[in-house]
Amino acid sequence: MNNKSIFIKNANQMITLKGSSSTPLTKEKMSELNMIENGAVWIEGDRIDAVGTTEELLAKYKNKLEEAEVIDVTGKIMLPGLVDPHTHLVYAGSREEEFNMRLNGATYMEIMNNGGGIHATTSKTRAASEDRLIEESLVRLDRFLLHGVTTVEAKSGYGLDWETEYKQLRAAKKLDEMHSIDIISTFMGAHAVPADFKEKPDAFIDLIIEEMLPKVAAEGLADFNDIFCERGVFTPEQSRKLLEAGKSYGLIPKIHADEIEPYEGAELAAEVGAISADHLLRASENGIKRMAEAGVIGVLLPGTAFFLMAEAAKGRKMVDQGVAVALSTDCNPGSSPTCSTPFMMNLACMNMGMTPAEVITATTINAAHAINRGNEIGSIEIGKKADLLVLDVPNYMQMQYHYGMNHTDTVIKAGKVVVKGGTIV
Ligand SMILES: N=CN[C@@H](CCC(=O)O)C(=O)O
Ligand SMILES: [Zn+2]
């Protein structure tokens, strides 16, 4: 806990996203940033104590100013710390040779079906010690932090056996304690069919349901239960069975849906009441409609489409049809080896037709809702966790206009300055 109060003043634009804590933003509401010019925030401990113009807060706290740490952000903008709601943070090794193979014409699924892809990272993750996994993941967490990210979701799924899934989930818990970024865990035992179950994927689903889910729930290792629902991986029937079983253990469904082919993943997400359906590059019209009706958040991963050289998800259409859209890196060693959430915002503008205002909503409050944390983070409001990002641009549109650059100046995490002048302190 920080003893000294923090006063951040003179933000050219302070994007608060006020009033969005209870439900994610949809349609034109995704553009309502609730911005304050010459904005200021007062922080006590790990919480936001007051939000307003610099003049208002100077008047309110005039008797406390002398003891406070004052941060002047003149010429810069301030927004909530970014939230990344879909990552495969904890893994070992890298797969640059597969990138080279894809550049030479191989497809992502061909590589996976020949024992590479997720299987290659599974072998490396099984062989790595827990300490090694933590060491490699800490590097990625630092990179996220330097890009202004203050919360990440992290999936297991490179074990495909209990021993390794457990190792990944334990590592995620330790990383949450060791690093300033908050980590929210998802169990993804059904990320691929392991080699020894190739001929009997149903038996693998049963193994997860009977032996893994009870342990995940008993130890409180994850909030969410995810599956890769894709032709050649798990079917919609298998996905339904697993996600329904997870619900009986209190695990909220998430789903990797319609990434490579249309496979009714978006429809299934609506049916099982998933908090989010992710990827959605090939989601059907009906699937998008059903998601909007059921309030399933669409977590779009424009970096994955970019890196797989595939057509991006229809972000513009989803927003217009009432899906609450969030954005994420998908940080993983195969289809999206990046920790730059801001670059995802650039890509969403350029390849999905989303606007600079919408992509801010999609990486703050809607991303927070996609991990069930809308009441705690994702907007600058009194009582919320003091997770704040200061960017060295004079207005929020320049964040997208000067694309592919890291504009992070200062990051405050839970009331502590953790990045200053673009460097971790
Ligand atoms: N598509 C499935 N899973 C990951 C990729 C994992 C990997 O290739 O290692 C994704 O979300 O893109
Ligand atoms: Zn993923």
> Tell me: the pLDDT tens digits for 72-106?
999 999 999 999 999 999 999 999 999 999 999 99
- 413, 394 contact by CB (below 8 A): no
Residues annotated in a binding site for Fe(3+): 86, 88, 256, 330
Average pLDDT over residues 130-144: 98
pLDDT at position 256 over 90 = yes
Q: How much is the pLDDT for 331?
A: 99
pLDDT at position 208 over 70 = yes
Label residues 376-415 b or e (16+ Cβ within 10 Å = b). bbbbbbeebbbbbbbbbbeebebbbeeeeeebbbbbbbbb
Average pLDDT over residues 390-394: 98
Q: How much is the pLDDT for 160?
A: 98
Average pLDDT over residues 353-363: 98
d(CA 70, CA 42): 9
pLDDT at position 1 over 70 = no
DSSP conformation class of 315: H
For β-strands 69-72 and 6-15, DSSP reports them as: parallel
Q: Cα of 400 to ligand 1 centre, how many Å?
A: 26
Residues annotated in a binding site: 86, 88, 95, 158, 191, 256, 259, 330, 332, 334-335
Q: Cα of 88 to ligand 2 centre, how many Å?
A: 6
pLDDT, tens digit, for every residue of 184-196? 999 999 999 999 9
CA distances from 237 to 52, 191, 227, 271 (A): 51, 15, 12, 12
Global ipTM: 0.98
Average pLDDT over residues 287-297: 98
Token pair, residue 13, equals: 């634009």
**Dihedral (C-alpha) 335, 339, 345, 348: value to the nearest 10 degrees?**
0
pTM reported for the whole predicted model: 0.98
In the structure, which protein residues have their CB atom closer than 6 angstroms to any atom of ligand 1?
A: 88, 117-118, 121, 228, 256, 259, 304, 330, 332-335
Q: What are phi and psi of 211, to 5 degrees?
A: -110, -30
| Side chain identity, residue 315 | G
- Of the chain, the percentage scoring pLDDT greater than 70 comes to 100
Q: Cα of 250 to ligand 1 centre, how many Å?
A: 25
| pLDDT band, residue 288 (cuts 50/70/90) | very high
- 318, 280 contact by CB (below 8 A): yes
